[in-house]
Amino acid sequence: MPSSDVIDYQIIGDDLQAVVITLDPGEACVAEAGAMMFMEEGIAMATQMSMKDQGGMFGKIFEAGKRLIAGESFFITMFGNNASVRRCVAFASAYPGHIVPLELSEHGGSILCQKEAFLCAARGTDVDIAFSKRLGAGFFGGEGFILQRINGDGLAFLHAGGSVLRRELEPGEKVRVDTGCIVAFDPTVEYDIQFVGGVKTALFGGEGLFFATLEGPGTIWLQTLPFSRLADRIIACAPRQGGKRVGEGSVLGGVWNLMDGKGGV
């Protein structure tokens, strides 16, 4: 007997996607605080500290604290259909990318993902923290010791930056990945960190000092544009004091302005 509500959904958009969830009377879904796009009349919204119905106040605070460690907000929001007919509620992420639907029952009832990847899910789903098993992955994996573990037997939705690559790894098959490009992977996939190798390559290769290694069997999901990479580019182009961008006022900055058509006499 499934413990999660069985929900219908539609993903809309191309690179700025949203998921529209249709709830039957009495059904509900949970979402990260602030992710709601719209909800139809008859949908009731309630904020709580835990996805679990059981447990006293201390237990709920403990669950909320674990959510903070996992990179999510202290509160979770539940949306229930109190109407007598089917109603819709929609959720979207705060930055460009794609939404990844996951049927948790097809992945053994559990999936591991990067912090802040969770968007929404059917009621009955639980988001917990998972500690990295390996010391190297904990210190240099980009996500620290903490990953998110999503448990349940229904639908859950993750958000990934840019486009998404889903890949099936055979037993013993390995891929090396930029640590920020990992979205999620099956618990059967071994996650570790590997040094790039070579001092010159590590310092000047532009890819950082470490790769993540993912070894099958299992499914992995990768993203083309980690939010941290997008934020770094935005910060690099942001105006400094006096309205100058990074590089302006230098020889290279002047050359760039001439090429960009912004040079003057």
The pLDDT tens digits of the residues spanning 196-207 come to 665 444 444 445
Q: What is the CA radius of gyration of the chain?
A: 21
Is the pLDDT at 19 greater than 80? The verdict is yes
Q: Decide if 139 is inside a domain.
A: yes
Question: Once rounded to an integer, what is the mean pLDDT over residues 159-177?
Answer: 94
DSSP assignments along 113-160, one per residue: E-TT-EEEEETT-EEEEEE-SSHHHHHHSSSTTEEEEEE-SSEEEEEE
Q: Respond yes or no on whether the N-terminal peptide bond of residue 217 is cis (omega within 30° of 0).
A: yes
Which segment of 4-18, 59-73, 180-194, 204-218 scores lowest on mean pLDDT? 59-73
Q: Decide if 185 is inside a domain.
A: no
% pLDDT > 70, the chain: 67
Name the band, by pLDDT with cuts 50, 70 and 90, for residue 63: very low
Domain count, the chain: 1
Distance of CA 151 to the CA centre of its chain: 15
Question: Once rounded to an integer, what is the mean pLDDT over residues 143-165?
Answer: 85
Q: Decide if 141 is inside a domain.
A: yes
Q: Decide if 2 is inside a domain.
A: no
CATH number at residue 24: 3.60.160.10
Give the domain range for residue 152.
8-160
The pLDDT tens digits of the residues spanning 94-144 come to 888 999 999 999 999 999 998 788 999 999 998 887 765 554 444 554 444
With beta carbons less than 8 A apart as the criterion, state whether 177 and 229 touch. no
Q: Decide if 13 is inside a domain.
A: yes
Top pLDDT among 248 and 178 is at: 178
Q: Decide if 87 is inside a domain.
A: yes
Q: Decide if 113 is inside a domain.
A: yes
Going by C-alpha positions, the residue among 149, 117, 126, 129 that lies closest to residue 30 is: 126
Is the pLDDT at 223 greater than 60? The verdict is yes
Q: Name the pTM for this structure.
A: 0.75
* Mean confidence (pLDDT) of the chain: 77
Q: Decide if 26 is inside a domain.
A: yes
Predicted confidence at residue 39, as pLDDT, reads 96
Is the pLDDT at 253 greater than 70? The verdict is no
Distance of CA 13 to the CA centre of its chain: 18
Name residues whose C-beta falls within 8 Å of residue 194's C-beta, 6 or more positions apart in sequence. 176, 210, 211, 212, 213
